[in-house]
Structures are given as C-alpha cells and as structure tokens.
Structure 1
C-alpha cells in the first residue's frame, strides 16, 4: 500500500520543520513530551500524529504527550512499542497497532487495536491538506528535510551542564537538541536508544551517551543504536524506562538504572543494573 497523499513518515520529530505541509505525521519518535513540543508540532501544520508508546514507562511518560497534543487540537495516537520499532517510521506505518490515544482520536472513531493504516484511511477525509493548495506545484508534501537546524526550535533545545564526581555532563531531554558545540561531551538524555537517536549522537560526535531504553520493544529497537555507536567510538548505555522517564534527561541522570551497555561501556567496567551515576564515575 502506497503512502496516501498528505501523510509524511519521519523517523524523528527532530526532522520536522516549519515548512512541513503534511497534515498527518507518522513518526518513529516516542509519544512523550511537553507543552512546548506539542506546540512545535502544531506550528509545523500537523493535525494528526502517530508516535511510539516507548514502553509507557515511569509515570506513563511514554504517552504523556497525548494530552499536550490534545490541548493544541492535534489528534494523537500511540502505537504499541512491541508492534512497531521505535525510531523507524516505516515500521510504524506498516505494522503499528494503536495502544493509546487522546479524546480527539476517540471522537473520530479510532479504537485500540486499529492499525495505523486502518486509522488513517478512517480519518483522512476529515483532514485538510494544505499541500493541495494552489501555492504548491506538486502533490507531494514538503517536510523541509534539507533544511539545517532551525532557530524556531531554539526554545526547546535546552541543555543543562553539571558534574558527577568531577566529570562534566551535558543533560538534555532529547538527543535532537544537541548541536555542534556538544562534540566530545558526555551526554545524558531522555531520548530512546534507537537508530534515529544514534544518528544524532554520531552527527554531533559525542564521547558518551546515556539513553532511555523505551521498553526495548520490537526487535530490541529501543537499544538498537548501541552496537553501531560502539563501532563509531561512542560509549553508550540505556536506562530502564521504568526507572526514569523518557524525555526527561535529569531523571535519567538521577534515577536511571542501566539495562544495556555497548562494548565500549563494558570495557570501562560499566555493567547492567548499575545506576547512571555509578557508570559515569567510571569515565574518569
């Protein structure tokens, strides 16, 4: 089945740009978030969004974004993290099964257990598609993927600098909030450890990174980037989604318990079941 007109697939919300004209977003990112993130998605002309439940996790952080999207008038659904690989939008589109939704989705007749494809076919006639306006010369949606970091997202891209046992740490809620100044940093973030997140870690050349495991999920997608990061010379670990909230870098630092460590981490005697802070202390 071809992707319907007006639908865009993105592996990461970090790839979404204000120039987007697709009203329906099928995204590999988690369904966590906050008011600012939901506002950003709305400001990028998204009316409907499908995201990953990320194991739901501590304080239901993996689906916390549903209410924020609803407040912005965005119909939002989360797919079961065991039905589709987190960080892989194509799998969300092809295999995603709805596990949670906001009241806008319920009002549209969407039900738990529906597939993403079924859901989109059910609601597509109700969605206004700006890509069909006369200002656009073709029928394909614009996502702005060729545009570099956009200043309109600067208010979201918050980082905190701290130290653990004298070791400097960069804390951020999302790996997508990093920039060229983070090269060589030890990063603790609230992102999942999937392939799209690993891409950002490599892009910015971090020294080490601690992720949330997002429930690990289908085909171990929540930790899938760790091996490739080790090959790229980046030490990487994931924290149990039940020990720390996804999209909450500070909680990962303060409360995260390690579930998976790559070979570089193991070579520094970092092991599963350690706290994130215990692991960082071994990076001296």
Structure 2
C-alpha cells in the first residue's frame, strides 16, 4: 500500500491532505473509509478532492441507500466501490482494508477492473489507475433541524450525520441518519453529547453486529439509544428515519423507557416521559 491510500474510519475525517499530491505526482488520493456509501458520505468524499474511494454498503437497505452515493460518484467521474457489510466492520477502515470484500462498484470502477467478490487490496490495485474526477458532487447540506413530533413537547433534533451533534445538544432527543457502529471502535465517538435518546441506522447489523455497537457504549454513559432496521429507512437521512424507521435493537436505558424492537421510531418518540 502506497501513500496514495488514506485510511479513514469516517469520511468526515478527510482533510486537505486528501486532495493533495501523491508520491507518484498524481493529484488526489484514494481512500478506504469505514463510512456508509450513501449520498452524504459520497459528497464529502468528492469534495475532499479524492481520486477514488472505497466505502461500506451498510446492508444496502431501503432503496439501496447504502450505495446510492457510490453510484452517484460515477456522474462526476469518480471511481468508487463498496464492501459487503458482513465482510468488514462499518466504521473501521483497517478492517475494510484487511477483510473487506467488494459487493458493489460503480461504472468507472468496473471499467478499471473492480468487481464484486474481490478483496479490497485487489480492488485498490485496480483503482490505482483511476483518473482525477472531472467535477465534484454538489455539497449535501449539513441538514440539522428541529422537528415538532409530539404536541406540547420539546422538538426533536434531526441530523443527517452524527458529526453534526455538539455538546450543546445534551439532554435532547436526537434522530440521526448515521450508522450505529463505533467509529474506529472508539466509545468516545458514540455521541458527542449526553443526549436523552439517540437513534441510528443498524447498517445491516454487519460483521460482529458492529452496526449496533454504539448502543452498549452509550448505555455505559446512561444514554438511551436505538438502532433502526436499514431496510425500513434510508441511511444518511434523518427525515427518512423519522418518517419510516422501525426499531431493530435497543440498549438497556432505552428499554427502561419502554422502547422495544418492532416499534416505529415515531411511536417510540411518543412514549410518555421521553420528551
């Protein structure tokens, strides 16, 4: 692996170096990221100046949202592919590199020789020939808004990415579009605020049930958390989670509030005493 390849547990960690000059003199670099392959993550990858990217398919899920961004990157000339969530833990670039198996590649990656069933190292050998994208995806707005879900109760905070949560959001009920896997296995990154309740996508649960791993980490901090079935709502979209999400797993503090698998997220948010 050359210095052309960046390992990013979250694509939001991509900085100016992502679009720098490689040791071969070619503009842009290739990233292997633990992030899902949805539109938000793809836009971040595109606008970081990367030449190509490997993401996680997050179980693909509702309307193939887990790979929608990988597909969209072809429209701006960027080769991209996704690993099967059961082959590598979401949120871990290292596991993607070492164990990831490609489940989907966009047209540009396919043209370079990337194909489902390949290991990530082989895919990277093909992606080394990727050209600099001719354009960038339009920025996806950092969607963060308040939603009045239950009359006469405080509004719910909705964020398409958990990276938009801040310490000022302590005590709030938060609906995210993010996956429920710990970023890089770090419990400190489970949630940046001492929230009342947080929801995530289960991202197909994935290898070692990694898509649920934020839940016990948050339980240790006394924070209620639930995961939503990736087939019930689109990963990367808090609006979809709120409109369609169905709970697939809860941690102990959430269970103590009366939340349980099979409940819709909207029904869960209406539980007495929650908001």
TM-score class normalised by the smaller sequence: 0.7 to 0.9
Aligned counterpart, 1:27: 33
CA distance in 2, matches of 1:13, 1:178: 16
Q: Find out whether 1:87 has 2:85 as its counterpart.
A: no
Assess if the C-alpha contact under 8 Å between 1:38 and 1:72 holds in 2: no
Residue among 220, 232, 257 paired with 2:246: 257
Aligned counterpart, 1:135: none
Aligned counterpart, 2:178: 191
Assess if the C-alpha contact under 8 Å between 1:49 and 1:77 holds in 2: yes
Normalization by structure 1: what TM-score?
0.84
> What runs of 5+ residues in structure 1 fail to find an aligned partner?
129-152
Pairs within 5 Å for 1:86-105: 86-105=90-109
Residue among 182, 186, 196 paired with 2:169: 182
Q: Find out whether 1:244 has 2:233 as its counterpart.
A: yes
SS at match of 2:16: coil
Aligned counterpart, 2:57: 53
SS at match of 1:202: coil
> What runs of 5+ residues in structure 2 fail to find an aligned partner?
21-27, 133-137
Q: Find out whether 1:170 has 2:170 as its counterpart.
A: no
CA distance in 1, matches of 2:240, 2:260: 19
Assess if the C-alpha contact under 8 Å between 2:66 and 2:235 holds in 1: yes
Q: Report the CA distance between 1:231 and its aligned residue.
A: 0.3
CA distance in 1, matches of 2:85, 2:42: 20
Assess if the C-alpha contact under 8 Å between 1:110 and 1:119 holds in 2: yes
Q: Find out whether 1:161 has 2:161 as its counterpart.
A: no
Normalization by structure 2: what TM-score?
0.86
Q: Report the CA distance between 1:191 and its aligned residue.
A: 0.7
Assess if the C-alpha contact under 8 Å between 2:109 and 2:127 holds in 1: no
Q: Find out whether 1:233 has 2:215 as its counterpart.
A: no
CA distance in 1, matches of 2:111, 2:34: 24
Assess if the C-alpha contact under 8 Å between 2:56 and 2:85 holds in 1: yes
CA distance in 1, matches of 2:65, 2:130: 29
Q: Report the CA distance between 1:199 and its aligned residue.
A: 4.3
Residue among 98, 107, 113 paired with 2:111: 107
Q: Report the CA distance between 1:64 and its aligned residue.
A: 0.5
Per-residue CA distance 1:168-217 (angstroms, 9 max, x = gap):
20111111122343232211011110002964443233221001111101
Pairs within 5 Å for 1:118-133: 118-125=122-129
Assess if the C-alpha contact under 8 Å between 1:193 and 1:213 holds in 2: yes
SS at match of 2:12: helix
SS at match of 1:9: strand
Aligned counterpart, 2:120: 116
Aligned counterpart, 1:145: none
Shift in CA distance, 252/72, structure 1 to aligned 2, threshold 3 Å: same
Aligned counterpart, 2:197: 208
Assess if the C-alpha contact under 8 Å between 1:157 and 1:178 holds in 2: no
CA distance in 2, matches of 1:126, 1:243: 35
Aligned counterpart, 1:149: none
Aligned counterpart, 2:210: 221
